[in-house]
Amino acid sequence: MSGILIGLLLGLTENTMSAPHPYIYQHLDREDGLASSIVLAILQDRDGYMWFGTDNGLQRYDGRQFLHYRYNLNNPNSLASDIVEALLQDDQGNLWIASPAQVTRYSPSGRTFTRIPIQTAARFTSGPRRWRLRQCQGTIILEAGNQQEQFVFAPNQKAFVLPQSAGGKIASCLRKVEAAPVPQPSVEPYVYLKDNRGTLWAASGQLWARAPGATNFDLIPQRDEFRHDLVFDQIYSISQNQEGTIWLGTNKGVYYFNPGKQRFFSVGSNTRNPAVVSGFLETAKGEIWAATLNQGIQVYDQEFSPLRNYASGGLQVWCLVEDRQHRVWAGASDGTLLLMEPGKSAIRHVTPPALAGQNIMKATVDASGQIWWGTHQGLLVRYDPETGQFKSFSLQKQAPSQTMGQIKRLLFGLDGTLWLATAQAGVLRVDPKTGKIMAHYSTASRPKGLLSNAVGEMIWYDDHTLAISTSLGIHFLNVQIGQITALTTANGLPSNTILNLVKTGKNLFFTTQFSLGRWNTQTKTVTGYGAQDGLVNESYAFNTGYTLKDGRILMGTLQGFYYFHPDSLNRSAALPKVAITGFKVFDKNLTLNKAETGKEGLHLAHNLNFFTVEFASLSYYDDAKIQYEYQLEGVDQTWRQAGRNRFASYTNLDGGDYLFKVRARRDDGATTPQVTTLRLVISDPFWKTWWFLGLVFLLVVLGLYGLYRLRINRLLGLQAVRTRIARDLHDDMGSTLSTITIFSDMANQQVLANPVLAQGYLQKISRYSHQMMTVMDDIVWSINPHNDLVQNLVSRMREVATEVLEAKDITFCLEADPAVNNLRLGLEARYDFFMIFKEAINNIAKYSHCRQVWMKVKLQENNLRLEIRDDGQGFDTAQASTGNGLLNMQKRAQNIRATLDISSAPGQGTTVSLTAPLSKTAFHPLPV
């Protein structure tokens, strides 16, 4: 066969890919909130919380946060000691906490700690001193790790006593348990655990495991090479929680792992020089071949036990293919093909001229048995095993405007045409007979093309659809109609740059550069996988996804490869019920008891309506895959998405009865079996209670009624003023006008007969007209609202006094207290007050025969007081009390609810005092 060089026998080299790393460990230490790196006891309570006993107190853990309990010298309601050696939850739900000298019983419902002494006789006579706790027939038993010292709790003595002092029939509970043999003895006693899979674990200075049905223990190795390795000097406790996770309490914190949930297994990742895997092949014989760029070709059996290794002589091996003669061909660098024939250990190096200078990246076999090769420069080469001939097809010449780049994948369709994925030119459809390009799909395709020409992988999604990964997402090309749709980060992908694609059933597995995920084609959701699932070193290689005949999937990385079965990812247990882990009011923690989290609910005052509810599913191993949604009935119309956040906050809620609901779901679709609820009762403020609202309603009604009555009173007052004005006009003006009319008629009759008498009548007419004008002026002045000020009243009084008294040659003095200037007087009160003053002045002018008058207006307490005093002849008030003038003054004083006092005696002058209470009149102080 021309062009074929027979290579030298290189032989089988030492295998460099070891067995899978057994377990993936998660770690908690002081940086995560652990109180101490020395963890002596581990327990999961019935509510799902994990409890850690350390040499620095007791801690409750909900998956993210720690709640710390410690010894307090001044508080008996605390731990007996910060050293917690053993933990136990009894049938009543109480937590028993063993310390070196005492035991503490914690009641979760009452949140109380009770310290219980230990009888000192025969304690720690030999052996290690760490306590253990267990319950048997309802009795709490405390014993040393070597079972040499045992004590039982005596309720009547409220202490742990020696068995013979406790009474009762508990002998069967006190027999020593025979420890299972271990390959290597230890100074510290072993702690044992039989997990839910039947594996027996023994832990002390080392960790051992005995599989179900086995007779010997296998040592679980310790390594300190990877982030998820196990490193310790001593294991003090071992426990398994409800989800099957195994917890180890060590001198270097807490380690936990879940053998049942580790779905992905690595091969070759734990070596000092890990292999960079570039491709896979499962042969007809059932062997699994792995091509690498740095360690030749590795061959494994179906259990991934190494069978042999083919050295490549420094060449990078990119792809593997098996022909019909069951020969395995490997495409390598430098235009070299490696041929491995059945029954021969030699590798033949084939360097055909058609592949000279090319890195042979991908290969596939067509229906006739011919092998197709794709290179890093976009060259397509066909090899016919029957003739041994190589034929190349230059795609670049057919599309000179396009740079092909590396051929990433070769696939044949149902119609026999060849599909090529390229690194720079998108996807090509080629006629395998002629090598001609039949169709080209790229960013320039119409009506809708690829988002990027940089293709990373291509697989058949179904018989008529190609799934194509690019640097801008995953594309689905319907080859019958040429339609392209895209799946990107907007649809939930963690990255648009996809390196590998593998389709199984309803799931499309993919990898980015640093993550592996699954797209559910039915639910349109993405599930990510990480360290908890077994993926430790996630640096994936291009185009290495491969499906074995039994359904297992292989994914190459830069440090070996992973294998897993898709069906194992569907075996997921239901999530535990979400627990209410905390409640904060204005960012301050509020402790909840069982009643408050039950039907009774949590009652809050109206001013405590800013709160945060904290919750968790208490699924520790899958915490990173869990998302939450919540709803507060009465506030939220629909469920609110919290994502991976574990809290919900509400502010400024009105009083009422609310129901908070929360549930969780895992990325794989598993949900909590029931919704967790918390009833919240927020009391109404007193101004929103029924009695207060009723009172306000009553006050409003009364107020409206008062306003109505005020309006009516004002209308009545206005009517009264109108009536009074009409009366005054009728009485004063009417009588005066009548008198003027009479005198006018009489003067008219006497004007010729007796002019002197007529002149007298005319003088009277003039006097009555002047009097009428004065009355009219008083009425007009009184009804003018601009004269409401007492200051204006005083001015009016001064004018009247000047007019009346000066005509009689009487001197006067009018003093006004400045405080009265800031008072406003109502119309009727002002008029009556003024008329009393005017009547008094007129009487002084007519009858007193005085020489001087003193007048004063002042504010006295809550009264407006007017004093008028003269030095006239005075009079006997008893005889004058029936006069019309004095009666009118008294009537006007009564009208404004004032007190009028007239003091006089013959020869001693007269004093008139008017005191009007402001609170009972229409007096109003003005703002200063």
For residues 5-27, average pLDDT: 46
For residues 42-58, average pLDDT: 95
Q: Which residue has the higher pLDDT, 572 or 306?
A: 306
For residues 554 and 545, what is the distance between their CA atoms, to the nearest angstrom?
6
pLDDT bucket at 727, cuts 50 / 70 / 90: low
For residues 268-273, average pLDDT: 69
Which of 10-14, 139-143, 267-271, 688-692 has the weakest average pLDDT?
10-14
Q: Which residue has the higher pLDDT, 145 or 704?
A: 704
Looking at residue 920, its pLDDT comes to 45
For residues 408 and 452, what is the distance between their CA atoms, to the nearest angstrom?
15
pLDDT bucket at 792, cuts 50 / 70 / 90: confident
Which of 66-70, 275-279, 749-753, 856-860 has the weakest average pLDDT?
749-753
- Position 508 pLDDT exceeds 70: yes
Q: Tens digits of per-residue pLDDT, 325-377?
A: 999 999 999 999 999 998 888 899 999 999 999 999 999 999 999 999 999 99
For residues 217 and 194, what is the distance between their CA atoms, to the nearest angstrom?
13
**DSSP states along 186-208:** -SSPPEEEE-TTS-EEEESSSEE
Burial environment of residue 93 by CB neighbours within 10 A (0 to 12, 13 to 18, 19 or more): middle
For residues 355 and 410, what is the distance between their CA atoms, to the nearest angstrom?
17
Q: How many CB atoms lie within 10 A of CB 202?
A: 23
Evaluate whether 797 touches 837 at the Cβ level (below 8 Å).
yes
Looking at residue 127, its pLDDT comes to 44
3-state SS, 386-414, equals: CCCEEEEEEHHHHCCCCCCCCEEEEEECC
Looking at residue 239, its pLDDT comes to 96
Looking at residue 6, its pLDDT comes to 27
Looking at residue 166, its pLDDT comes to 63
Continuous segment of H or E residues that includes residue 236: strand 235-240
Closest to 790 (Cα-Cα) out of 841, 859, 853, 855: 859
Rounded to a whole number of angstroms, the CA Rg of the chain reads: 54
**DSSP states along 721-780:** HHHHHHHHIIIIIIHHHHHHHHHHHHHHHHHHH-HHHHHHHHHHHHHHHHHHHHHHHHHH
For residues 659-682, average pLDDT: 87
Q: Considering the chain, what is the average pLDDT of its residues?
A: 85
Q: Tens digits of per-residue pLDDT, 763-772?
A: 777 776 776 7
CA atoms lying within 13 Å on the CB side of residue 23:
22
**DSSP states along 342-377:** TT---EEEE--GGGTT--EEEEEE-TTS-EEEEETT
Which of 57-66, 301-310, 736-745, 908-917 has the weakest average pLDDT?
736-745
In angstroms, the Cα distances linking 67 to 53, 247, 591, 860, 873 are: 12, 18, 12, 73, 102
For residues 569-577, average pLDDT: 79
For residues 526-550, average pLDDT: 88
For residues 297 and 15, what is the distance between their CA atoms, to the nearest angstrom?
10
Q: Which two tokens stand for residue 10?
A: 């290189």
Cis status of the peptide bond prior to 447, with omega within 30 of 0: yes
The residues, any chain, with a CB within 8 Å of residue 795's CB and separated by 6 or more, are none
Most confident range, picked from 328-337, 670-679, 725-734: 328-337
Looking at residue 881, its pLDDT comes to 61
Which of 28-42, 119-133, 230-244, 759-773 has the weakest average pLDDT?
119-133
Share of the chain above pLDDT 70, in %: 89
Closest to 574 (Cα-Cα) out of 649, 435, 669: 669
Q: Where are the beta strands (DSSP E) in 22-158?
A: 26-28, 39-44, 50-54, 57-61, 66-69, 86-89, 95-98, 102-107, 112-117, 131-136, 139-144, 150-154
Evaluate whether 319 touches 332 at the Cβ level (below 8 Å).
no
For residues 77-85, average pLDDT: 94
Evaluate whether 338 touches 289 at the Cβ level (below 8 Å).
no
- Position 755 pLDDT exceeds 70: yes
pTM here is 0.69
For residues 287-291, average pLDDT: 96
For residues 161 and 154, what is the distance between their CA atoms, to the nearest angstrom?
7
Q: Which two tokens stand for residue 442?
A: 């790229």
Which of 59-63, 251-255, 856-860 has the weakest average pLDDT?
856-860
Q: Which two tokens stand for residue 897?
A: 């609810």
Tell me if residue 219 falls in helix, strand or coil.
strand
For residues 136-165, average pLDDT: 84
Evaluate whether 126 touches 119 at the Cβ level (below 8 Å).
no
Looking at residue 757, its pLDDT comes to 78
- Position 735 pLDDT exceeds 70: no
- Position 16 pLDDT exceeds 50: no
**DSSP states along 449-479:** --S-S-EEEEEEEETTEEEEEETTEEEEEET
Looking at residue 1, its pLDDT comes to 33
The one-letter amino acid at 259: P
For residues 404-433, average pLDDT: 94
Q: Tens digits of per-residue pLDDT, 308-329?
A: 999 999 999 999 999 999 999 9
- Position 75 pLDDT exceeds 90: yes
CA atoms lying within 13 Å on the CB side of residue 25:
25
Q: Which residue has the higher pLDDT, 175 or 908?
A: 908
Looking at residue 731, its pLDDT comes to 61
Evaluate whether 668 touches 527 at the Cβ level (below 8 Å).
yes
